[in-house]
Amino acid sequence: MNPEFGRNLATSSGPLASETLAQLLAAHAEFLAAGGGGGSWELLSVAGLPLCIYRGGAEAGTQLVLRHKQLAAGTSLRDRNLASSDLSGSACDGADFRGAKLDGSAAIDGFFAGADFSRASLRGVDFSGSDLRGCNFSDADLTEADFEHTDCTEADFTGANVERARFPGAILEGIVRRSSPRRSFRERLETMVAQLRAHPEVEIYEFTVGPPASEAQLAAAEAALGLALPPALRAFYAAHDGVFLQWGLRGQDYPGKSAAFEYPDYGTPPGAINLLPVAAAWSKHWELDSFVNTIADDQLIRLFGAVPDPRPPVAAVVIDNYAKYYHGDLVLGGAHDIVVVASDHGADMDSSDWVGFETYLDLIVAQYGTCRYQRALGIGWTRASRQLPSWAPHPSLDEVIAGIERE
């Protein structure tokens, strides 16, 4: 399509009124809530103009279609769920899409110069032929996005996930692709919670981040257990003394909902994080009261390469008491912190792979706080457990929700 003709077509009627856009967004939220997302696109050409036909639908709401429409400069769609939208041929120059979810959307031959897509989820978005000059894609998820014949001049891809993204024929002059500083757990956690809040099928029951633990609190916990906190765990508590989150599917009843840092019961919501305050986690009572099982010498050798000498005061503590049947346990005694996920109320601690504490935080965020045993580290008794040096899987929130619904 001739770019000048396309821009004139999109801007001929002027920007959408804010009231009109608000109505369109509300209708799209209903469309997604009724199961309208996740369809496929067919691209046709009509009188030389691209026409994207959506194969899918819902019994309520209306899909967001901004085809050949213009958004006012600086329009904010921040943290909005715009998945499966039609933005083809739209003029969205300078729009704010920070943290928005546009997975599976069609954005062919669009005009997005200077738009901010930082932290946005753009999995599978088709940007083919679009003007993306100066766009900010920093820390965005561009998995399987299509940039064929786009103009990405001076776009910023710092920290973006470009796994399986396509760039054939794209103009990539002056793009920025720096390695960005690693975002803190707090920043990544709050981004995840914002995505949960924006999803029409999700309800958050409680989200609590404890204040930083004081040096006196850290020292008291270490004295109570007779063991120093590993550096990564100490840094975590120095930033936030406990993190609690419970979320589930809207309209569902979960009898095991609980207040922050309480012991979980059966029927816990599918999304649950209960990273306990330092005084509760760094305690001998987990082993004395049989919340964690005895660690056999052969398991210690597999975890640490040798039986710790001297042995620590206790073999393990519970740091993430997120469900009645499962919990994340820190096994003590080695040079590095090791987290396993126990099942059977802590009686079984060797049917889980193991990770370092920081990797454990990574997978909590990547899996939206869903069960770390069933969706991450648990292996049953299918093979010998092993160490995972990092966590790679990053399912979309829609994929996580679909898995919950199947269960």
Domains of the chain: 1-181 (no CATH), 185-406 (3.40.1580.10)
pLDDT digits (tens, 9 = 90+) for 118-158: 989 999 999 999 999 999 999 899 999 999 999 999 999 98
Give me the pLDDT at residue 181, please: 63
Give me the pLDDT at residue 306, please: 85
Of 35-39, 100-104, 282-286, 388-392, the least confident: 388-392
pLDDT band at 182 (very low <50, low <70, confident <90, very high): low
Give me the pLDDT at residue 372, please: 95
User: Is residue 399 a contact partner of residue 373, using CB atoms and an 8 Å limit?
Assistant: no
Name the E strands within 180-279: 202-209, 243-249, 271-275
pLDDT digits (tens, 9 = 90+) for 327-376: 999 999 876 678 999 898 888 888 899 999 999 999 999 999 999 999 99
Measured in whole angstroms, the distance separating CA 145 from the mean position of its chain's CA atoms is: 18
User: Cβ–Cβ contacts within 10 Å for residue 36, how many?
Assistant: 22
Q: What is the pTM (predicted TM-score) of this model?
A: 0.62
pLDDT digits (tens, 9 = 90+) for 276-325: 999 999 999 999 998 888 788 888 888 888 888 888 899 899 999 999 99
pLDDT digits (tens, 9 = 90+) for 1-28: 566 787 888 888 899 999 999 999 999 9
- The mean pLDDT of 187-207, rounded to a whole number, is 94
What is the chain's mean pLDDT, rounded?
91
DSSP state string for 29-65: HHHHHTT--S-EEEEEEETTEEEEEEE---SSS---B
